[in-house]
Structure 1
Amino acid sequence: MPELPEVEIIRRVLLPQIQGAVIQTVSVTRPEVVAHPDADKFCRQLTGQKIHNMTRRGKFLTVLLVSGDSLSLHLRMTGCLLLVPPDNPMKKHTHVMFQLDNGKELRFSDPRRFGRFWLLERDEADTYSGAGSLGVEPLESSLTAAYLKTSFYRRKRPVKECLLDQKSIAGIGNIYSDEILFSAQVHPSRTANSLTDDEWKRLAEEIPKVLNYFIEKSAVTPEEFLQGTGQDYRNTAFLRVYGREGEPCPMCGTTLRKTVIAGRSSVFCPHCQPMNALSK
């Protein structure tokens, strides 16, 4: 699933190419990917609209239209948003197409069909997508050690599970939670109520640092993005622990181990991230 860095890269690649463009036609081949309103109204209402901006909130992308309407998208597990020339071969499982007046087509494909669109009219409350219940943006100043401690310190759940809670922190998924916990030297299975003040501080420092690092390392040009069909751009060479169980720790050389937390795999270094850290 694309996480915050990947969604941010999509925004940065697409925005300069679609800003100011007018949507000439819209076609939907799988109506279920349009969660609100129905697919017919979705197509009618978007036709003729001019794109003003594109923003990101957690893992959500939102296209802001000059009219005040807004189009939100969550890619979920396998969604892909790609801007292509009209003669570009149609990608399999393409479900929504926007023909723009700049000669390009914005296409959404999704093999598993879990991704969803929501079109909201100007001043319409978003009671549909769930974006309104998201927690703080991890790249903003509101994410502090005090916020993390207040949100989690009474919980007996593993800290890894807490980082995945979108209602507390928006945008962190399985990959970058591993990288964050490794950088902060916190074992993923530690219960949140066992963390020390120093560990909360390290987490608050490492969360934006790690996410910004991977945004930087995954940056691509529009040409590279298109060549990778909008998906092959995560720079896995810079992942230090995720997916590397059995390899030596890049810090100390200890063999990295894998555990399962809340049904999700988690890789850690037993030396750099000791389970028996003292509570404060």
Structure 2
Amino acid sequence: MPELPEVETVVRTLNRLVAGKTIERVQVLLPRIIQRPAEPELFEAALVQQTIHRLERRGKFIRFVLDDLTLISHLRMEGRYGVNVAGEPIEKHTHVIFAMTDGTELRYRDVRQFGTMHIFRQGEEWSLPPLHKLGLEPLDPAFTPEALRKRIGDKPTKLKPLLLNQEAIAGLGNIYVDEALHRAGLHPERPANSLSQKEMDFLHRSITEVLQEAVDAGGSSIKSYVNGQGEMGMFQQQLHAYGMTGQPCRHCGHPIEKTRLGGRGTHFCPHCQVLRA
């Protein structure tokens, strides 16, 4: 599933490609992608003549800011956007097409068909699902060590599942939690309330550093992720823990191990990330 760096990269790419364009018509080819309004015909009609002023990211969600509406899109497992010239062949698994007045089309393609789209009147999206319970934004200036301590510092929950909880921190997923915990030297099973102030500071710094480096690299193309121009991310070349099972830790040389925690594959170095009570 695309995580914060991948979604941020898609948003930045689409801002260059479609911001300022006006939607002439919309074609929904797979109705279950559309969550609000429930009727695809109403979704299509609502967006006609709406201009895309800008795109923003909240957690793993994309916000299309229109004239008086907001379109919220979640890519889920393998959703992707691409910009085509009208009349070009439509790829298999293309489920929503936004035709622009300039003759281009923004096409949403999703092999797994898990993506979702919601339309709201501007402003109401913050108080309704799916955005209303999202936690701290880890690349926002408000994400400080103190904010992180207030959000998770008193919880007995193990670090890995807690950091994956989108109501705690929005945007983190399996790849970047493994990388941040490895960089901070913290075992994924450590209870959050067992961290010292110094360890919490290390965790905060590791989260922000890993995410920013991944954004700068255009995200990680582990499976099928590409940005809005079909370009792969490159951060997978800088991974130290995720997907590195059996390979030597770049810090100490001990083989990286993999276990399952909360149903998720979890990668760590048992030498650098010792489990302490």
TM-score by length of 2: 0.92
Q: How many residues align?
A: 271
SS at match of 2:190: coil
| 1:88-103 correspondence to structure 2 within 5 Å | 88-103=88-103
- Cross-structure match for 1:129: 129
**Are the equivalent residues in 1 in contact too, given 2:72–2:119 (CA < 8 A)?**
yes
Cα drift, residue 87 of structure 1: 4.2
Give 1:101 deviation, angstroms: 2.1
Q: What RMSD over aligned residues (CA atoms) do the two structures have, in Å?
A: 1.9
Q: For 2:42, give the aligned amino acid.
A: K
Q: Give the match for residue 223 of structure 2.
A: none
Alpha carbons of 1:116 and 1:225: their partners in 2 closer, same or farther (altered >3 Å)? closer
The CA distance in 1 between the partners of 2:264 and 2:72, in whole Å, is 27
Counterpart position of 2:250? 250
Matched, 1:174 2:174: yes
Query: Residue in 2 aligned with 1:46?
Result: 47
- Return the offset for 1:78: 1.5
Instruction: Give CA-to-partner distance per residue, 1:142-177, whole Å, 9 cap, x none.
Output: 222222222223322210111111111100000000
One-letter amino acid of the structure 2 residue matched with residue 196 of structure 1: S
Where do 1:1-280 residues align within 5 Å? Answer: 1-37=1-37, 38-65=39-66, 67-125=67-125, 128-218=128-218, 225=227, 228=230, 232-276=232-276
Distance 1:226 1:146 in 2: 36
Q: CA deviation at 1:227?
A: 6.2
The SS at the match of 1:62 is strand
Contact 2:5 2:219 in 1 (8 A): no
Secondary structure, counterpart of 2:201 in structure 1? helix
Return 176-185 or 140-149, whichever deviates more: 140-149
Q: Which residue type is aligned with residue 81 of structure 1?
A: Y
| 2:80–2:228 CA contact under 8 A, matched in 1 | no
Percent same amino acid at aligned positions? 38
| SS at structure 2 position matched to 1:134 | coil
Distance 1:90 1:141, change over 3 A: same
Instruction: Name the amino acid aligned to 2:20.
Output: G
Aligned residues of 2:153 and 2:192 also touching (Cα < 8 A): yes
Q: Structure 2: how far apart are the matches of 1:219 and 1:3?
A: 8
For residues 145 and 131 of structure 1, do their structure 2 counterparts lie closer, same or farther at Cα, with a shift above 3 Å needed? same
- 1:118·1:129 contact (CA, 8 Å) conserved in 2? no
Within 1, Cα distance between the matches of 2:123 and 2:182? 43
Q: How much does 1:94 deviate? A: 0.9
Matched residue type, 1:91: E
Q: CA deviation at 1:133?
A: 0.9
Distance of 1:100 and 1:257 partners within structure 2: 49
Contact 2:138-2:170 at 8 Å conserved across structures: yes
Mapped partners of 2:218, 2:185: distance in 1: 24
**Structure 2 counterpart of 1:174, one-letter code:** N
Q: Distance in 2 between matches of 1:270 and 1:123?
A: 46
Counterpart residue identity of residue 214, structure 2: F
Instruction: Tell me the SS of whatever aligns to 2:193.
Output: helix
The answer (yes or no) to whether the contact 1:80–1:108 under 8 Å persists in 2 is yes
Deviation (angstroms), 1:226: 5.9
Instruction: Measure, in 1, the Cα distance between the counterparts of 2:49 and 2:95.
Output: 20
CA separation in 2, counterparts of 1:198 and 1:55? 33
Amino acid at match of 2:186: V
